[in-house]
Chains A and B, each alone.
Chain A
Amino acid sequence: MNIHALLQWRYRHRVDPRVIILGLGVTLGIILITLNYLQPVIIRLLPNAILLGLFIGSIYALVALGYTMVYGILKFINFAHGEVFMWGGYFVYTFSVLGGVNFFIGCFVAVMLTTLMGILIERIGYRPLRRAPRLAPLITAIGFSLFLQSLAVYCFKADYRSISAPIGGVDAISSPVRLTLPSAPILSGIGIGVFALCYVFLHLRKRKNPERKPSTMVENLILLFLVLFSIFFVLSILNTPAADPASIFRSSVLLSIQLIDGIFLVTAVIVMIILHLIVKYTTLGKAMRAVSDDMDSASAVGIDVDRVIASTFALGSLVAGIGGILFGLKYCIYPYMGFLPGLKAFAAAVVGGIGNIYGAMIGGLIIGMAEQVGPVGLDMAGISGTPYQDAIVFIVLIIFLIIKPSGVMGKEHLVMSRGK
């Protein structure tokens, strides 16, 4: 059966999204419970992989923001964005590790420099080509990407370097923060309770004031979490030793998170909120949305299009610089780090819906999860999954391009080849 026919059928018959969520939840639950019997050891890796996916995903989301903002306005992929991300790490390395400047001042200068880099790339490479055929800026972007990458290879050699030395080395930032929580069934029970209350509250409010339009998105999200927590609850109940059911109340979950991972998530969320405020409430944000909709009309009503585009590049590069520093703190910096992570970030932008900054966050999380959870899935199937991490991300991208090329939150007309 053709997948497009299937999609058309779904659009014609308008299946309730709640039915889809419940159906997916039940399927996922059955799969997980079966696996729990077959591979009880490996499934213990799953919560850890999900957490790691969340953290890595927030880095991809930060980089994806730059891709998606530029795509939203200029409608082309800025391949050099991954390299700006990489140079964020290298600037900190130059100033703080080699130059001995205070780490936080070094970070600040590095982020300023990546911002400048983004503006310069736009000014030199893309502005002369604004009216050129579509292929031209893409080729220039590849040129810039290569230029920045080989410049890093030339200056610093193709070695792995650490940038965490000025703040006490890797041990200081990756020191685990331990949290002792009540046991898994109680935790998921609390989760179910909270979300069920939310759901009931939403419906009560809807009944009280029928004029008010219910937000189906929030309702669906609540339902999704409810389903996920229920699966978790059933699984944890199944895993408690049958001989000693009272251990539910005595035992506890020891959650250990590295400090840097927490910083990833918090930074990503803060950046998202700030960007949301900028795009929604400032004059610049308004101008950006206008230019994104129709560049010529925006210029006709007096918006300085060149300035708006330069600011978009500046914002995207700033965020990419922050992402590069965080990535360098967790792993290492190396000249090719802009390439595969950059590609994955772009995949995140596509999956989330290109041109949409909230989509970038969702896409980042999906790609991060796929990268971390996918190998665990392969392990359960008996294949060593870690070498195939990158391929899994790529397959997720291809699947999205087949099923829903506009991504989770994107617009259809931005994607199809005819909408030139």
Chain B
Amino acid sequence: MDLSEILAMIWGSLPEMVWLIFIYGIVTLGLNFILGHGGMFHLGQIGFFVLGGMASTIVTSELWVKKYPGLTPFSNFVLGIILGVVISILAAVGIGVPTLRLRGDYFAIATLGFGEIVKVVLNANDDLRYVPVPKIFHTGSEEIDLDLEIILAAGIFIIFFIIIMWLTRRPFGRVLHAVRDDELGAESLGKNAFVVRLKAFIFGAAMASIAGSLYVHHFGVFSPMSYMIDMTVMFLVIVVLGGIGNNVGTLLGVITVVFLSAIPRWITRACEIDPTTVNIGAINLLIFAGIIIAVMIFHPPGILGEGSKLEPFANRIKREVMRFLLGARRGGGHA
């Protein structure tokens, strides 16, 4: 391949990557809310992602449409999102109530198990093993309308970004931070740590479910086993790399990780290596694992986390942006 072809290939794969950035962005914002703001070691975000996909698949599938022909595809899609959120909230309560009173490790192992068990249980069900999903966002023919998907995902991402920014400044967010930093202290001031944590967990889980509902319509098929353990780890890498507890950092983390996982693919295609001879997935994972270990040992705050050298700089940019957007009225107060 010469240079122009390589550039064309990279340019061609960009829209899908932008879409992926927003989808993963929604999931990891939720994870960051749970892990960074709430201090709970959550490893089962993938489970809620799958549940959201499952709900959307069921509601938009041909069988359902045949049963309830009065509904339009769009209302079915919205119904799928709502159903996914409801199921995810129920699951989150089921996991959270027994484990959130205990030490963080129990929560970690319960959520990790949950993420895997959801896939195994759905896969055991004949009706859910390999289901065709209608592509709702299409341009008349079979082609998917990627622009529409990107706009939808970006819109939801931005809405959640604003909600979380708002929420962390509300009393709820401050209590959540207090519980994360000093549980005994927060409880001695009369705050119920368990309830605050459970609420934060439910909120983050619902976000993953919504992202799952959007994600599944891109591929035209729903198969629980196609959601690998790699995804759990990728979400964790995004949050850890970007800086635990920093929402802008999470966005930077998503962009980095999506590009990082695309680069080996580009290289193999540019050098015309037979993709069956090298295991791209394993190389990606090795890189991710290296990143996690290196970040935790050498620079625990990540790119933008608390204590990172870049943090004051980022805060200043944020302040300027806020001042620009909101006028001088509220500027300066946001650090």
List the interface of chain A (C-beta within 8 A of B): 71, 76-77, 124-125, 128-129, 132, 134-136, 138-140, 142-144, 146-147, 149-151, 153-154, 157, 336, 339-340, 343, 346-347, 350, 387-388, 390-391, 394, 397-398, 401-402, 405, 414-420
A157 proximity list for chain B (CB < 8 A): 279
Distance, CA A417 to CA B182, complexed state (A):
11
With A153-B285, A343-B109, A405-B102: A142-B43 Cβ-Cβ less than 8 Å: yes
B49 proximity list for chain A (CB < 8 A): none
Q: Is the beta-carbon distance between B293 and A140 smaller than 8 angstroms?
A: yes
Distance, CA A169 to CA B109, complexed state (A):
36
Q: Is the beta-carbon distance between A136 and B300 smaller than 8 angstroms?
A: yes
Nearest Cβ on chain B to A2's Cβ, whole angstroms: 12
Contact of A401 among B106, B193, B233, B286 (CB under 8 A): B106
Distance, CA A24 to CA B293, complexed state (A):
48
Q: Is the beta-carbon distance between A135 and B113 smaller than 8 angstroms?
A: no
Q: Is the beta-carbon distance between B279 and A154 smaller than 8 angstroms?
A: yes
Distance, CA A277 to CA B145, complexed state (A):
67
B16 within 8 A of A: no
> 1/0 per residue B161-201: CB within 8 Å of A?
00000000000000000000001100000000100000000
Q: Which of B260-298 contact A (CB under 8 A)?
A: 279, 281-283, 285-286, 288-293, 296-297
Report the stretch among B61-69, B119-127, B207-215 that lies at the interface: B119-127
B39 within 8 A of A: yes
Nearest Cβ on chain B to A146's Cβ, whole angstroms: 4
B102 proximity list for chain A (CB < 8 A): 401, 405, 415-417
> 1/0 per residue B111-147: CB within 8 Å of A?
0111011001101100000000000000000000000
Size of chain B's interface in residues, with CB distance under 8 A?
51
B332 within 8 A of A: no
Nearest Cβ on chain B to A127's Cβ, whole angstroms: 10
B104 proximity list for chain A (CB < 8 A): 134-135, 138, 417
Nearest Cβ on chain B to A384's Cβ, whole angstroms: 8
B236 within 8 A of A: yes
The CB with the most chain A CB atoms within 10 A, among B35, B105, B279, is that of B105
Distance, CA A142 to CA B239, complexed state (A):
13
Q: Is the beta-carbon distance between B283 and A154 smaller than 8 angstroms?
A: yes
Q: Which residue of B lies closest to A151 (CB)?
A: B286
Q: Is the beta-carbon distance between A418 and B183 smaller than 8 angstroms?
A: yes
Nearest Cβ on chain B to A292's Cβ, whole angstroms: 16
Q: Is the beta-carbon distance between B98 and A402 smaller than 8 angstroms?
A: yes
Contact of B289 among A124, A150, A391 (CB under 8 A): A150
Consensus secondary structure, chain B interface: helix
Consensus secondary structure, chain A interface: helix
Nearest Cβ on chain A to B299's Cβ, whole angstroms: 12
B317 proximity list for chain A (CB < 8 A): none
Q: Is the beta-carbon distance between A405 and B286 smaller than 8 angstroms?
A: no
Q: Which of B27-45 contact A (CB under 8 A)?
A: 35, 39, 41, 43
Q: Is the beta-carbon distance between A129 and B101 smaller than 8 angstroms?
A: no
List the interface of chain B (C-beta within 8 A of A): 35, 39, 41, 43, 94-95, 97-106, 108-110, 112-114, 116-117, 120-121, 123-124, 183-184, 193, 229, 233, 236, 240, 244, 279, 281-283, 285-286, 288-293, 296-297, 300
If A125-B296, A343-B109, A388-B124 are given as contacts, then 8 extra A-B residue pairs at C-beta distance below 8 Å, sorted by A number, are A135-B41, A146-B292, A153-B282, A350-B109, A388-B120, A390-B120, A397-B109, A398-B110
Q: Is the beta-carbon distance between A139 and B236 smaller than 8 angstroms?
A: yes
With A154-B286, A394-B117: A140-B292 Cβ-Cβ less than 8 Å: yes
The CB with the most chain B CB atoms within 10 A, among A146, A397, A415, A420, is that of A146
A132 proximity list for chain B (CB < 8 A): 300
Between A and B, 9 residue pairs with Cβ closer than 8 Å are A124-B293, A138-B104, A139-B292, A140-B292, A140-B293, A146-B233, A146-B288, A391-B117, A405-B98
B94 proximity list for chain A (CB < 8 A): 398
Q: Which residue of B lies closest to A77 (CB)?
A: B105
Distance, CA A365 to CA B240, complexed state (A):
37
Nearest Cβ on chain A to B237's Cβ, whole angstroms: 9
Nearest Cβ on chain A to B264's Cβ, whole angstroms: 12
Distance, CA A347 to CA B114, complexed state (A):
12
A339 proximity list for chain B (CB < 8 A): 116, 229
Distance, CA A402 to CA B143, complexed state (A):
50
A140 proximity list for chain B (CB < 8 A): 292-293, 296-297
With A153-B279, A418-B184: A387-B106 Cβ-Cβ less than 8 Å: no
Contact of A417 among B108, B183, B279, B283 (CB under 8 A): B183
A398 proximity list for chain B (CB < 8 A): 94-95, 98-99, 110
B95 proximity list for chain A (CB < 8 A): 398
Distance, CA A418 to CA B102, complexed state (A):
8
B233 proximity list for chain A (CB < 8 A): 142, 146
Q: Which residue of B lies closest to A128 (CB)?
A: B297
Q: Which residue of A lies closest to B103 (CB)?
A: A417
Contact of A125 among B110, B121, B297 (CB under 8 A): B297
Q: Is the beta-carbon distance between B105 and A76 smaller than 8 angstroms?
A: yes
A390 proximity list for chain B (CB < 8 A): 116-117, 120
